[in-house]
Chains A and B, each alone.
Chain A
Amino acid sequence: MISLPNLSHTDTNKSARLFLKKFIGALLLATSLMASGQVIKPKVQTAFIYQFTRYIEWPNKKNLNEFKIALIGSSALQPFLEELSSQKSVNGKSISISSVEPDEDLSPFHIVIIGDSKFLEKVVQRTEGLEILTIASGEGAAAKGVIIGFFLEKEKMRFEINRSAAEKQNLSISSQLLKLARIIE
């Protein structure tokens, strides 16, 4: 291992850098742990979710004061997401985490994380055309209309993207992200 020199002259936030280091470290640790059979899915998922915000663009009309993430039916991701919201931002906007019910108004949210598969169809139905990124776990979720679905492949966490769903939600996904994902048309 070598220590990276500061080759750029950018003025970086020390705490943010610290978090990122911890985050990537955790990410790498998580993937390696997963490879060894241990599952710490929520933390890795949280890290992935944050990275998604970098490669997905929401339309301007979604230009709210804060970046809102809704969590439906899943309590395991909650603490990690809250930690993320306290330390990170998306495009300069603070992150807010809300636990909501499927029947609630989902239109203010940028991301809706479906923690329980039983709400899949309902949430998909309710978010249709609302410029909301839907994320769920389990292989086949994307096929059911969720935009991004996590799954395990060779004990490594990967994700699939439903491109048509994303287009329907009017979200623009970076080709770089698409390159890493399994694409569901």
Chain B
Amino acid sequence: MSPALMEKTKTLKGQLIQMQLIGAIIVLFVCSCAFIVNDYFILQKSLKRNIETSARILGKNLLPTLAFADKEEARKILASLSAEPDIDAAYLFDETGKLFAHYGSPLPASFSLPENSDRLSRYAGGEIQLFHQLTENKETIGLLILKGRPGALRKEFKAYALIVSVVVLAGLFLSFILATYLQYQFSGPMAALVQIAKRISNSSDYSLRIGKVSKQEQIEEIKVLSQEFNRMIEKIQDRDRQINSANQDLEHQVEIRTQELKEAQKIALQNAHAAGMSEISTGILHNIGNIVNSANVSIEEMIKITQQSKLKGLRKINSLLEEEKNSLGQFLTTDPKGKLIPEYLQQVTETLTEEQRSIREEIDNLVKKVVLIKDVVGTQQVYARGDIMREEIDLASLIREVLEMQRISLGRHSIKVISDFHPIPHVSAQKIKLSHILLNLFKNAKESMDHASPSERKLKISTRHLPDVHQVHLSIEDTGEGITQENLKKVFQHGFTTKKHGHGFGLHFCANAMTEMNGELQVSSNGVQKGAKFTLIFNLNAQEEKAAS
């Protein structure tokens, strides 16, 4: 069956006609079969009755022929069966069981009488055989066997088959006409309904309605269906109007809300900017604070130097020399005190020279820190411009510089610095930012080891080049209080701190700064009191990798 035809049979019209035709065929076929079977049995019965009647009449006429052994007359009588279309053959046996006369086909050699003596007729080989005893004065003097001709039945069946065919065809034709009429009555309005539904679906034109057709409206259910459909469409149309109106309102509301959101976004952006600025400011202040702390250490050192200066002794010597200015030569050569003065002056000179050198160093440090502060402020300006200055940095040198800045502080905390620098390529980074990161990490390491015994305070700094992954790793490992497993996840969060006076900004800044420099900051710890290890990971670009190789 072609797809088009299949599609056609799926329509209501096709289905109705198909079902009605199938129903008609089934009913006609069943009825015809029932009639044929009934007629078959009636015909069979009739045939048997006819043969029985013939047998009775023949038997009566054949009795004298047996009585007077008149075979010729017997044959004549049997020949009269030619007028009986139902009887095919007849056989007359005498009292001794010998064939006396016959009509029609000769007795077959295989012929035998039925074993069941009660049976007076039988069906064999598609024919009926009837056994009729010829009796006289209650004495059996012969037997007449008649064979019915099934051809008569077959002829009847042929006629029946023809009648059934004609009836079925006529029935189908009438059924088709009836089905067509019914589909016009029932599926016609349904098809119109479907058409309207399709048009509404395609065009969303809810003003469409099913028109009134007088014949269709004769069927109450279809009339109700059409009315209800129209009512439903009206409701949909109303709702559509309401939805459109609501949509328009909604669009207006959305527009207003969008405007409000834009305003809010603007404010939020401003707030965020302010917050960003605040964060940046916090960072700068934090870093400047670190530098200032370091500067304080230098100043304290200078104050200490100046407080412990030998200048007082020098003043005493000056006073003593002032007192003995008239006899200075004698005093220096003869007086026991005066004899010590030249040597003392020599010692004071050396001490002051040393103090001067130390102060000079601290002043240099202070200058460096002031430069660093200037750089920090400069970084702020870079941020403000959105420009990020990156340069090729020799990590080992930078580490040494930062360590130098922390030297006094680390020394004061009795922290032993272990350097394990392997050859590494230069990395691309912002020097100031990286300095702050190192400063922060050294400071944290230093503070974490406050509670450790001085002999165990160790700060190990190592560098590694991992060419396979194109990375440079800088590790800063301490033997301090360590980090719990839970806190490991939070250490880089803004505001997280375990220090009494901490702000929770330092590590947050470090992590962000590393990310900004296309790097990464990782932390690991074996647990509380087992130290911590911070690793700065620098991803090398192709040029850096090439330079390294």
Contacts and interface: CB of A to CB of B under 8 A. Distances in A.
Contact of B63 (A4, A5, A17, A176): A176
Interface string A1-15: 111111110111000
B64 interface: yes
15 contacts: A1-B96, A1-B98, A2-B98, A10-B135, A12-B138, A12-B139, A12-B140, A17-B139, A21-B95, A21-B96, A24-B66, A31-B69, A51-B64, A51-B68, A176-B64
Interface residues of A, number: 29
A28 B61 CA distance: 19
A28 B96 CA distance: 11
B141 A20 contact: yes
Contact of A28 (B64, B94, B112, B135): B94
A4 B408 CA distance: 151
Contacts, number: 86
Q: Which interface residue of B73, B139, B143 has the most chain A CB atoms within 10 A? A: B139
A31 B113 CA distance: 28
B97 A1 contact: yes
B139 A20 contact: yes
Contacts of B64: 51, 55, 174, 176-177, 179-180
Contact of A16 (B98, B135, B139): B139
A164 to B, nearest CB: 22
Contacts of A4: 93, 95, 97, 113, 140, 142-143
B140 A6 contact: yes
A25 interface: yes
A24 B98 contact: no
B69 A176 contact: no
Interface of B: 60-61, 63-70, 73, 93-99, 112-114, 117, 120, 131, 133, 135-143
Nearest to A28: B69
A4 B141 CA distance: 9
Q: Which interface residue of A11, A28, A55 has the most chain B CB atoms within 10 A? A: A28
Given A24-B141, A54-B136, A180-B73, A6 B117 contact: yes
B416 to A, nearest CB: 139
B67 A2 contact: no
Contacts of B143: 4-5, 7
Contact of A8 (B95, B97, B140): B140
B34 to A, nearest CB: 36
Contacts of A10: 135, 138-140
A3 B95 CA distance: 9
A48 interface: yes
Interface string A29-62: 0010000000000000000100100110000000
A27 interface: yes
A24 B136 contact: no
B139 A176 contact: no
The 7 closest A-B pairs by CB, nearest first: A10-B138, A176-B64, A51-B67, A7-B133, A1-B98, A3-B97, A2-B97
A24 B96 contact: yes
Contact of A48 (B61, B68, B112, B117): B68
A4 B96 CA distance: 7
Interface string A87-99: 0000000000000
Given A2-B113, A7-B120, 9 more contacts: A1-B99, A3-B97, A4-B93, A5-B143, A7-B117, A17-B139, A20-B139, A54-B67, A180-B64
Contact of B94 (A5, A16, A24, A55): A24
A20 B69 contact: no
A170 B471 CA distance: 156
A31 B66 CA distance: 12
A66 B434 CA distance: 165
A176 B96 contact: no
Contacts of B139: 10, 12, 16-17, 20
B95 A180 contact: no
A31 B65 CA distance: 13
Q: Which interface residue of A4, A12, A31 has the most chain B CB atoms within 10 A? A: A4
A25 B141 CA distance: 11
A25 B66 CA distance: 11
A18 B186 CA distance: 86
Interface string A140-179: 0000000000000000000000000000000000101101
A20 B120 CA distance: 24
A89 to B, nearest CB: 9
Nearest to A159: B68
A31 B73 CA distance: 15
A179 B72 CA distance: 12
B95 A5 contact: no
Contacts of A177: 64
Nearest to B72: A156
A52 B328 CA distance: 218
A24 B95 contact: yes
Contacts of B140: 4, 6-8, 10, 12, 17
Nearest to A50: B67
A24 B63 CA distance: 12
A128 to B, nearest CB: 27
A7 B95 contact: no
Contacts of B69: 24, 27-28, 31
Contacts of B99: 1-2
B135 A8 contact: yes
A5 B112 CA distance: 11
A25 B96 contact: yes
A51 B68 CA distance: 7
Nearest to A44: B69
A177 B425 CA distance: 152
A144 B246 CA distance: 137
